[in-house]
Each structure stands twice: as C-alpha cells, then as structure tokens.
Amino acid sequence: MISIVRRLLFFTALIVIWETIYRINLDLHFFAPTNFPSPLLSVVQLYRGFFETGILMVALTESIQRIFIGFALAIIIGSILGILIGVSKIADETLGTLVIALQSVPSIVWLPLAMVMLGGGAASILFVVVLGGTWPMTMNMRMGMKNVQPILLRAARTMGYNRSELVWKVMIPASIPSAITGARLAWAFAWRALMAAELIGRGGLGRTLMDARDFFNMELVIAIMIIISVIGLIMEYLVFRKIEKRVLAKWGLSKA
C-alpha cells in the first residue's frame, strides 16, 4: 500500500511540474505553444478519443489484436526453437548461431521486406511483431534447457527415463522459470516492434500517433503515449510479476 501511495505522489508531482511549465510557457514562450503539450489537455484528448470520436478505441482494439496474435505466435515458435536448440548440439551449433545473428537485427528492419512480400497491410506488421518476440523467447528457453541441474538428469536416468521422457518430464518443466523471463522479454520486444511498425504501417495506435503529429495535435500524441505506457505497466505488474511469483514459489526459488 505504501509503495502505491509513493508512486501516486511521484506521478502527481511530475504532472503538477509539467502543467506549471506549460502554463509559464504560454506567457513567456520558451517553446512554441503548439509544440509543448499540456498533461491535463492530454487527459481531455484521452476522454474524447475513447468516448466521443472513438478513434482511440478503434486504434487500441486493432493494436491489441495484433500484439496478442503476434505474441502468442512468438511464444509458440520461440519455445519450439529453444527446446530444439537446447537438446540438440547440432541444432545449437547451426540454428542457434542463426538465431543469435538474427536477434541482433532490429525487428523493424524487416518491415520494408515484409511490406514487399506480404503487402502493406496487417500481415506485414504481424510478421515484424512475431520476429520481435521470437528471438528472446528462443534464447531464454534454450538457456533454461541448458541449465537444468545435472542431479535432476542423473536421477531421471536412474529411474529409467529415456531421452524423450528426459526432455518432456524433466528438462522442460525445470526450464519454466527461464521461459517466464523469455515471455516477459518477448512481450516487451513484440510491443515495441508493433508500435514501430504501425508508425509506418496502417492502423493501430502507432499510425494514429503519426496522424496526430501531422496535425500538430501534441496532446493526442501524449495521450497515445500514455495508453502505450499503461498497457506496459498492466502487463508487467498484473500479469508477468504475478505469474513469475507463483512459478518461482512453486519451484522453491522464492517465498510464496
């Protein structure tokens, strides 16, 4: 409860300082008034965008659909690749090297190629989102598979487990904490990839943000940034942290 109060006081202070600078700027013109938005007017734009014009609701719905489809595909593909690389030395030396190389390429770099191959619609944006989330999921799943405690493997072999049983009943369950970390990183990279792709693609919060900039509606730009930030906070505090806490407690790595 104390931490919540601290956060509220911190953000309230930031907003008060920001609004004060905005009002001083209206008189002294340190910046062009159209280029220095007001936080309170940004909240007004949030209300209008959701409840009057509906443009933010439409954009948010489109972005949420894209991120959840792309995130789900990234988790599935990344988990499969991570397991394969984690259990096979040949796959690790070949496919693993390719994954390491590809993860250093920003996912947005793929957008021009995706737009040529898939067109400029939702498919090209989804492709970029999937790429953004797949590589961190793959590498964390691989790390989890590689770091299984040897005593667990020896105990399973003593009990007569064959290779496939070692993978499915020992290695994969033991790598779940690393998989959770991978999912968190996959979400962060996929979400950023989505926003970047929508800036030069079609629809969603990113495209709406660019349209707002083109019309010099800086309050709407800030409103969209608030939405993006709030979604990030919701996923971090209400989803991933809760899942991580339960998983770590179940695996005996933290207190319940």
Q: Distance (Å, rounded) from C-alpha 104 to C-alpha 228?
A: 24
Would you state the pLDDT for residue 164? Answer: 86
Q: What is the 3-state secondary structure (H, E, C) of 181-201?
A: HHHHHHHHHHHHHHHHHHHHC
Would you state the pLDDT for residue 137? Answer: 96
Would you state the pLDDT for residue 208? Answer: 94
Question: CA 246 → CA 94, 180, 207, distances in Å?
Answer: 35, 11, 37
Instruction: Report pTM.
Output: 0.89
What DSSP state is assigned to residue 149?
Answer: -
* pLDDT tens digit at each of 256 positions of the chain: 778 888 889 999 999 999 999 999 888 878 887 788 999 999 999 999 999 999 999 999 999 999 999 999 999 999 999 999 999 999 999 999 999 999 888 888 898 888 888 877 788 999 999 999 999 999 999 999 999 888 888 888 888 888 888 888 899 998 998 999 999 999 999 999 999 999 887 889 999 999 998 888 999 999 999 999 999 999 988 999 888 888 877 766 665 4
Backbone phi and psi for residue 14, each to the nearest 5 degrees, phi listed first: -60, -45
Domain boundaries of the chain, sorted by first residue:
63-250
Q: Distance (Å, rounded) from C-alpha 209 to C-alpha 215?
A: 10
How many CB atoms sit inside 10 A of residue 155's CB?
Answer: 12
Which residues, including other chains, have CB under 8 Å from residue 35's CB and lie 6 or more apart?
A: 216, 218
Judge whether 40 and 18 are in contact, CB under 8 Å.
no
Backbone phi and psi for residue 147, each to the nearest 5 degrees, phi listed first: -100, 15
Say which CATH class 63-250 falls into.
mainly alpha
* Distance linking the first and last C-alpha atoms of the chain: 19
